Amino acid sequence: MKQKALWINQIKGLCICLVVIYHSVITFYPHLNGLQHPLSGLLAKCWVYFNLYLAPFRMPVFFFISGYLIRRYIDDVGWRVSVDKRIWSIVWVLALWGVLQWLALSHINAWLAPERELATSSNAAYAGSIGEFMRAMLTASTSLWYLYALIVYFTLCKVLSRWKLPVLVLLALASVAINFLPLPWWGMNSVVRNMIYYSLGAWFGAQLMEWMKGMTMRRTWLPVVAFGAVSVVLWFANVPLLLSLLSILLIMKLFYSIEQRYAVHPNNLLNVVGSNTIAIYTTHRILIELFSLFLIGQLNAGTWPVWAELSLILVYPFISLLVCTLFGLGARKVSSALFGDVFFAPPARLAPAQATR
């Protein structure tokens, strides 16, 4: 990887870490109802609110970077290559891991929480039949909705690239409207909400990157602070668009400035994580379900010492992040070494045999 791209890869690493923390929090803390110490309950609420406040800094940045990195396929690469590299490859991973998650989470719930009532139509991973699974996958009601979104976003950005500005305005309006007029499918709401960021990266990412690199924070701090104040007010009014755009700018500026000041090694932890986002994204949800169901049962039973309860409540998302990251990296190595990376990339097509004389 070229040195100049390392800071972008590190942002990807940060984003996938925030995604893992997000799922770790929402599958664990809201379901704790047998905590022994009042401070445990307070810490649990702090994690839930902290997770909520991270929303404008998580998926919008992730999607902007994702769009920026595929802009060449939008402008310069034909449909035949694009379908193979940017659509089919993601469809393969989405379909494969959709099934694997469904099988894994069904068995984990039957094992650790057989009494738990699952909303089988709300998430493909909890589907009660093949029909429910297919409907959930087609409506983005899946923990893998990010991959679903990448397919939709790329296709639409390539088809609509002649009308960038008017489409971008419509996407911005849709991103705001979906917060007040949601669709019946939670995953599809997220798809609609975040397309503006991917499109911005795919269509105008190069120009925005150059502008960001030349921007001096010492000279622009006042308008940035003013814009931030307005963005926060709108965020509390359920319009996170401006705050998300500001977070994209500030996070990119931060990582770019760090790379300019300090040498960034290719083996830097965030860079390694950023190079394996798909592996971590697809595998972490299964591990988190396993951790949360086991630990929820333990804590709600009140069998742990208070000090152990407090310690776990305080650091659980970081432990979950560490284990999920290491597992994802290990899974990618095993997949590459033993199975031709078939778990994270479609199998290579067989080349036609050459006629011999």
The DSSP string of 205-241 is: HHHHHHHHHH--HHHHHHHHHHHHHHHHHHHHTT--H
Q: Would you tell me how many other CB atoms lie within 10 Å of the CB of residue 275?
A: 18
Confidence of residue 268 (pLDDT cuts 50, 70, 90): confident
How many whole angstroms separate alpha carbon 313 and alpha carbon 20?
16
pLDDT in tens, 324-356: 999 999 999 999 999 989 999 988 754 344 443
Token pair listed for 49: 């609110």
Which pLDDT score is estimated for 253?
93
d(CA 208, CA 204): 6
Percentage of the chain modeled with pLDDT above 70: 96
pLDDT at 266 over 90: no
Instruction: For residues 259 and 254, give the distance between their C-alpha atoms in angstroms, rounded to a whole number.
Output: 9
Q: Reduced to 3 states, what is the DSSP secondary structure of residue 350? A: coil
The predicted structure's pLDDT at residue 255: 93
**Average pLDDT for residues 155-165, to the nearest whole number?**
95
Q: Is the pLDDT of residue 252 over 80?
A: yes
Q: Examine the pLDDT at 94 and tell me if it is beyond 80.
A: yes
Checking if the pLDDT of 202 tops 50, the result is: yes
pLDDT exceeds cutoff 50 at 156: yes
**What does the pLDDT average to over 225-251?**
94
> Residue 200 pLDDT more than 70?
yes
266/215 Cα distance (integer angstroms): 26
pLDDT, tens digit, for every residue of 8-64?
999 999 999 999 999 999 999 999 988 888 899 999 999 999 998 888 888 999 999
Task: Tell me the whole-structure pTM to 2 decimals.
Answer: 0.92
What residues contact 65, with CB distance under 8 A and at least 6 apart?
8, 11, 12, 15, 201
Mean pLDDT for all residues in the chain = 90
Q: Which of 112-116, 226-230, 262-266, 278-282 has the lowest mean pLDDT?
A: 262-266
The number of beta carbons lying within 10 Å of the beta carbon of residue 350 is 6
Question: Mean pLDDT throughout 172-178?
Answer: 97
User: For residue range 293-308, what is the model confidence (pLDDT) as tens digits?
Assistant: 999 999 988 889 999 9
Average pLDDT over residues 274-286: 95
Alpha-carbon distance values, 117 to 70, 126, 154, 270, 294 (Å):
41, 10, 37, 38, 16
